[in-house]
Amino acid sequence: MTKNAEHMTPQKRYVTRWGKLDRITHVLVLCGVVLGIVSGLPVYRNTLPIFDGISFAWMTSLLLGEGMRRILHRYTVTFLVGLAVVLLGLDFSLRNKRTHIRLTLRDIKDFVAYYRNLFFHAPEPKLGFHIPGEKIFFWVAVVCLPLLGSTGLLMWTRTGWLPYYLLSLLHEAAFLLLSFFVVVHFSLTILLRKEWPVLKAMFTYGRVERGWVEEHHPLAFQEEQYIKVTTRRRFITSLLWAIPAAALGVTIWRLSEYPEFKVSNLTIEPAKAEVGKSISVSVEVENVGYRQGVYVLQMTVDGAMVSEKQVALMDGQATLVSLETSIQTEGIHELAVKGLKGSVEVVPLPPPLPPIEPALAEKFKRLLPDAVDFKPVGKDGKVIYYEGYNNKGILIGYAFGARAYAETDKLEIVGIVDLDYRVVAIDVEPLPGTGLVRLGIAQPAFDHEFVGLSVKELHLSPDGKVDAVTGATMSSAAVTDAIREKIEEIMQTISSKTASFLKGLYVNRYRLSNFA
């Protein structure tokens, strides 16, 4: 049935205002726009300052998570609005009558007069098939929907020559403008009782009473123009729906392909590993496709697979993935992940550190009574210092032994520093089998000079805070230097261990990168 065709019923005379394709198109556009607004608000970035500080991120949970929100905002909205455009073109190609949807200067005047009549009881303007507000909303949609679709697809597929920020700005501006007109247009249509017949007709049977048309749209029948169907017109109008139909089909097909992943930046940590020790291989994985997917990473050592991990990423997301392995044979080995290759040198294990001697352990416990266990820390089989732990297994200090040689004195030093590297206790004694020539060096008063001092303060006064023993300046300096150098060695060892730990922690963290 064609638009504005008249029907006779036993009781009333009706006019078909909206054809079937018109009504379907209105439903599709309304559903698509409303769904686009609801699913787009959670990722609103405040690019425009109008709503700065407002967040709708909480709505994501109402949409069953970020994955479902993306499906609704991208696939569902694209399909609904795209199908509406196709049907609108088909409708234009089939109809044999024309209504005036163009926006003219007269429409602007009628727009003002129309709402003056509604709110201030001014004379009602004579309107045609469409009211001015309907025309304005139509052309806002004609501008905003293609802009939303094009900028959204460019951001989604990460293509185009425009910068992402500009695309986001245009997308957001069109989003706000269209949202405003949708809310205003449908709110006024619902609030204004005289518009209810057309609202009902738009979504039901499409018919309104002829008397209603003559009262509120008196120029509607005068505007009707029959369209002469020619071969040229058939060809042109066919393109109005055939081209968008093909474009929608290609778009949905392309966006429905399996997700594509990109693997880059292989890193091996450490570059030199000991036999049997853990080796971490990390790569950056990015989902460059258009939907969520799971990617399986496999790591090989000298061509043999040794580790595998699955990673789930939404489209546009990137993450750092680490795979662990260990190698039991010495030499240079090739590690590979998804075509990316690197090498690691595997070296023999260092000789084990010797256990602490009972006599030395007793000296440490005398200086640090709360410690019950001392664990050696060293490199290449050589002990550098000992970690002191209490009965709860908590590290409470560092213990060390050192020697100092002066012109006439040979001294053995046992010391404790706290976790801030300040001296807790010092005991200076002559080496076994040697005599002490300079009196006072091995006395408690000289040991107490070091308590509470930091590395910077471990110098003889006036450069530091250690008072030399009278008559034994060189021996005092030798002891002070030996203690300072040992604490500096402890600090350097701990700093290297901490740096290695933090680097490994960073390499094994997941780094996410989300594109809206």
| 407 touches 467 (CB < 8 A) | no
- Angstrom distances, CA of residue 93 to CA of 41, 89, 236: 36, 6, 8
DSSP 460: B
Query: Measured between alpha carbons, how far is 276 from 330 in angstroms, rounded to an integer?
Result: 10
| 73 touches 63 (CB < 8 A) | no
- Element spanning 201, H or E: helix 196-203
DSSP 204: T
Q: Can you tell me whether residue 393 is helix, strand or coil?
A: coil
Token pair belonging to 502: 């933090």
Query: Measured between alpha carbons, how far is 57 from 40 in angstroms, rounded to an integer?
Result: 10
- Angstrom distances, CA of residue 221 to CA of 126, 224, 374: 12, 5, 101
Query: Measured between alpha carbons, how far is 45 from 167 in angstroms, rounded to an integer?
Result: 13
| 452 touches 402 (CB < 8 A) | no
**Of 138, 91, 129, which is closest to residue 110 (Cα–Cα)?**
129
Q: How far is CA 513 from the centre of its chain?
A: 4
End-to-end CA distance of the chain: 44
Task: Give the relative orientation of helices 196-203 and 20-40 as an angle to the nearest 10 degrees.
Answer: 100
DSSP 14: E
Query: Measured between alpha carbons, how far is 5 from 16 in angstroms, rounded to an integer?
Result: 6
| 39 touches 72 (CB < 8 A) | yes
Q: Return all residues near 27 (Cβ < 8 A) that are at least 6 apart.
A: 203
What is the rounded (10 degree) CA torsion for 107, 112, 114, 117?
-160
Quote the radius of gyration of the chain (alpha carbons, Å). 41
- Angstrom distances, CA of residue 386 to CA of 378, 445, 458, 473: 9, 25, 21, 30
| 484 touches 458 (CB < 8 A) | yes
pLDDT in tens, the chain (516 residues): 334 444 444 445 777 777 888 888 888 988 988 898 888 888 876 555 555 667 788 888 888 888 888 888 888 888 888 888 888 888 877 776 667 777 778 878 888 887 787 777 778 788 878 878 788 888 888 899 889 888 988 888 777 778 888 888 898 888 888 888 888 877 877 777 777 777 777 778 888 888 878 777 788 777 776 666 667 767 777 787 788 888 888 888 877 777 889 999 999 998 889 899 999 999 999 998 888 889 999 999 999 999 999 999 988 888 999 999 999 999 999 999 998 999 999 998 888 888 899 999 999 999 999 999 999 998 877 899 999 999 999 999 999 999 988 877 888 999 999 999 999 999 998 887 665 555 678 888 889 999 999 999 999 999 999 998 887 888 899 999 999 999 999 999 888 766 555 444 444 443 333 333
Residue 288 φ/ψ, nearest 5 degrees: -95, 10
Q: Return the bridge partners of 235, or none.
A: none
Q: Can you tell me whether residue 279 is helix, strand or coil?
A: strand
Query: Measured between alpha carbons, how far is 388 from 380 in angstroms, rounded to an integer?
Result: 21
pTM reported for the whole predicted model: 0.56
Query: Measured between alpha carbons, how far is 445 from 462 in angstroms, rounded to an integer?
Result: 19
Token pair belonging to 45: 């970035």
Q: How far is CA 282 from the centre of its chain?
A: 19
pLDDT at 437: 52
DSSP 466: B
Residue-range domains of the chain with CATH: 261-347 (2.60.40.10), 358-505 (no CATH)
Query: Measured between alpha carbons, how far is 41 from 147 in angstroms, rounded to an integer?
Result: 17
